[in-house]
Chain A
Amino acid sequence: MPRRRGGSLHGRTEPHRSTVSTNAIFEPLSLGALTLKNRVLRSSVAGRFDNYDGSGTAVRMNWDVKFARGGVGAIISSNAPIHERGHIVPGYAYLDTDERMPFWRELGKRVHEHDCRYIVQLVFAGRERILPGLRYESALGATDDPEPINGFPCRALTTEQIREVTGWFVQASRRVREAGLDGIELAGANGMLFTQFLSPAINTRKDDYGGTLQNRARFALDVVRAIRREVGSDFCLGFKISVDEAPRELLPWLGRGNPMEDVVRVCGWLEEAGVDYIHVSAGTGFPHPRNPAGRFPVKEVVKTYDTVLSSGPRTLRNYVVFRTWPLSAVFRWWWQRPAKRLGVEGINLPGSRAVKQAVSVPVLCTGGFQTASVISGAIERGDCDGVTIARPLVANPDLVRLFEQGHDSPPRPCTYCNKCLFNFIENPLGCYEESRFDSPEAMVREILSVFEEPSYSGMSMPTGVV
């Protein structure tokens, strides 16, 4: 269960000053050819701020600039689909054609103004497609099996199609570099397409891309090598991986994921293939009890899961479970078990440490970080070289500034309530934990602040024309 530091009724805690040295956080970090000013990255997190067709909006820029201003060393973008069929939901900016580049170039420019680097996370969701959009009824994944929780339909990629998807990754990578951005991260964790190939619990293919670990890793390695050929050796390329897929923490009847020694081997191969860093996460799908670890906010889920009802054959069953006590309470208990057992902040550090011991490239770790001493301790112990943060930055975009000022943890920390996560489908992404605010109005004001300043501000033409 999330640790609450002496919280009062309003979720406020006394500013906790750090007594241990947290200097490690503020040392520069090199990820291949890219050097960051500190060890804190904003992890990929983004609301549905863009247009349905994948064209970007100024709101996305406002969102990212919040964190750049708050002092993180780099921002890992919202997951950027390399093709329409690979989106998770509509409303995220794609990087599927050259026409998208002016948007990304402008976004990079605005983030750079704050001495913050920008890494684009490229995604192909495979069967983890929460809202399919208009064009493709079924997703393309490693197998024909539907996604297990909601039943999102999926077709297995043919060898031909695998080559095509690889090509999309390569083209998108070229665009990242040409648009003046600083690096690429492949969304290989959290059940996205790479996980679907890597995981023995999912990949049942009988061809060169299934069976042995080598075969299951083939797609990821092919993509990494192909991107490396395209962008050259002097451009940052990272890979995000689920070190612990833990399928049975999601549904007890699923198969087993890769054991740690296999994950470590894959990370070694990725390094050989040319990645500049490994980013450690967890989970066979998204969301997952380990990622983002914390609470299962039943009320919020009931409010927004309805939008997903038409996406898969198991959704109505789930919706009824979420709506109906005591089924909802049982599900919540089940969901929250791993986080209770392992703790939220630093939940992936053991896996990160195992990877770090096996590779020589830097390792980033995600998972609820918001305490300076925990982060610096992890870096000093050699569990990881830097951390990536999503929810605690949604709660406190100026977290790094707070660390700089000597706070060990923010006065109003993230409660890991996961309300942000479940609201994003219907509402603007932001912190929806009322207890963190003086009033509901203050919360809503903060959430809607992402829309300032609007594209049409009266100063000139739309700010987007570059």
Chain B
Amino acid sequence: MTTVDTSTIFEPLRFRALEVKNRVFRSSLAGRFNNYDGTGNQAHVNWDLKFARGGVGAIISSNAPVHPRGLIVPNYAHIDRDETVPFWREVVRRVHEHDCRYLVQLAFSGRQRDLGGIQFDKGWSSTDKPEPIHGLRCERMTVEDIRELVRCFADGARRAREAGADGVEVHGCNGYLITQFLSPAVNNRKDDYGGSLGNRARFALDVVRAIRAEVGDDYHLQFKITAVDYGKDLFPWSARGTTIEESVQVCKWLEEAGIDAFHVSSGNSFPHPRNPAGDFPIQDVVRGYDTMISSGKHTFRNYLLFRVWPFNRVFKWAWERTSRGRVEGINLADARAIKEAVSVPVLCTGGFQTASLIAAAIARGDCDGVTIARPLIANPNLVELWRAGHDRPQRPCTYSNKCLINQLENPLGCYDESRFDSRDDMVREILSVYEPPQFVQ
């Protein structure tokens, strides 16, 4: 039981065009619960309801591709055509029943397509350099392509609004397309969209302005940003990436362009040692990564590396070194830097599950609210637990990252057996997302 005052967590958070009942958001997070073509399924509704029921103030949807070429893996719900609106409307309607707000995360993967699907051979990116971890190939976007995609983001936002969602979040971080433009370590363009910071930020600003023009002034629009690239955490030889100073400047521009809140993450790839920070679960990686082997040029090499001792031990050590002992709140310093520079609320992600730590971060002015992914998978009722006086759940998330790697082949859920009485209990909990089924008596 906590002895410090955590009541700030339960205070409403007011944005310009949105009020959320508390300071806890479920971060973008979803398994492959939908159809391959991006149409939605009941399991996705069930998944989001778990968290709405558990007391979070708002849910940020799974990354919703605004164009089929922008998927990360197939089987996530898209928002790339008007036919997808009824599904989102249903999700929003069900989530609202629990006094929980719903934001759709508008996404485009760019070159970071873990499983590219059958529609497009290569991703679209700022560059034609393949993604460095897996060697995922991509095509450099023309200015024409960029314009088309900006339009797709605006259309996605319009659909979210039509579906009754309470706002949208532009997925501008974690190495996906907008990061690929923002980051000097990735963007090697010579045109108006590369080079200077202003040029690298042009695409993000174009997207934000187009969305604002489309949805009007009275609609919540937030931006998730990689505050710092930390590219060298992954590859010590990588070029200089985005610094906090640059991100602060970009956020100022974005605020002027009409952004209502910032959501701070880090890392210029996904996954990255800092996001989701924590363990590199070798055994689960070997089981789950195999399906990606056909995706890139370096994947088979990686697969063998993950399988073969001692290479896998060395890799694991190097991966975990970055975040050891500081997973929870790992992005708070970066969030604070941005918060000091902007006047809109700032949300921060990164392993949060301790009420006193969150309350202190808000009180210190590091951020105005937190977004949570893994600890909510482990304990979807986390907010209720805090309300009942727990500072931390009895069976906290261990940051094993097994959820992350399992989602490629298996339903998303907590795969850390040590958190359950038995493996059976764990599997039952994982499969509970399919209840109720779509077809019932």
A residues lining the B interface (CB < 8 Å): 49, 51-53, 55-59, 99, 101-103, 106, 131, 133-135, 302-304, 306-310, 319, 323, 423, 426-428, 444, 447-448, 451, 454-458, 462, 464-466
Contact = CB atoms under 8 A, between A and B. Distances in A.
Contacts of B86: 454, 456-458
B232 to A, nearest CB: 30
A55 B437 contact: yes
B439 A456 contact: no
Interface residues of B, number: 44
Contacts of B288: 310
Given A57-B35, A302-B294, A306-B292, A134 B118 contact: no
Interface of B: 33, 35-37, 39-43, 74, 83, 85-87, 89-90, 115, 117-119, 286-288, 290-294, 300, 303, 409-411, 423-424, 427, 430-431, 434, 437-441
Contacts of B427: 134-135
Contact of B434 (A52, A307, A465): A52
A357 B83 CA distance: 55
Given A451-B36, A458-B85, A462-B90, A427 B118 contact: yes
A451 B409 contact: no
A102 B431 contact: no
Q: Please list the 5 inter-chain residue pairs (A to B) with the smallest Cβ-Cβ separation, ordered nearest first.
A: A458-B86, A309-B290, A306-B293, A456-B87, A464-B438
A131 B115 CA distance: 18
B439 A53 contact: no
Contacts of B294: 302-304, 306
B37 A103 contact: no
Contacts of A302: 294
A137 to B, nearest CB: 10
Contacts of A462: 42, 90, 438
A106 B437 CA distance: 13
Contacts of A451: 35-37, 39
A456 B39 contact: yes
6 contacts: A52-B434, A56-B437, A56-B438, A307-B409, A464-B42, A465-B438
Contacts of B287: 310
A384 B424 CA distance: 47
Given A134-B430, A466-B439, A51 B85 contact: no
B39 A455 contact: yes
A121 B7 CA distance: 58
A306 B41 contact: no
Nearest to A55: B437
B440 A454 contact: no
Contacts of A103: 437-439
B115 A52 contact: no
B437 A455 contact: no
A258 B54 CA distance: 58
Contact of A455 (B42, B119, B290, B431): B42
Given A454-B40, A466-B439, 12 more contacts: A49-B35, A51-B43, A52-B410, A57-B42, A134-B410, A135-B423, A135-B427, A306-B290, A306-B293, A427-B117, A428-B36, A464-B439
A423 B117 CA distance: 11
Contacts of A55: 434, 437-439
Contacts of B43: 51
Q: Which among B74, B292, B293 has the greatest number of chain A C-beta atoms within 10 A? A: B293
Nearest to B87: A456
A134 B115 CA distance: 21
B419 to A, nearest CB: 15
A454 B85 contact: no
Contact of B40 (A323, A423, A456, A465): A456
Given A52-B431, A306-B294, A454 B87 contact: yes
A309 B36 CA distance: 22
A458 B74 CA distance: 23
A426 B73 CA distance: 11
A323 to B, nearest CB: 8
A131 B411 CA distance: 14
Contacts of A59: 35
A76 to B, nearest CB: 21
A454 B291 contact: no
Contacts of A102: 439-441
Given A302-B294, A427-B118, A462-B42, A53 B438 contact: no
A122 B74 CA distance: 29
A419 to B, nearest CB: 11
A306 B430 contact: no
A239 B83 CA distance: 42
Contact of A131 (B74, B85, B119, B409): B409
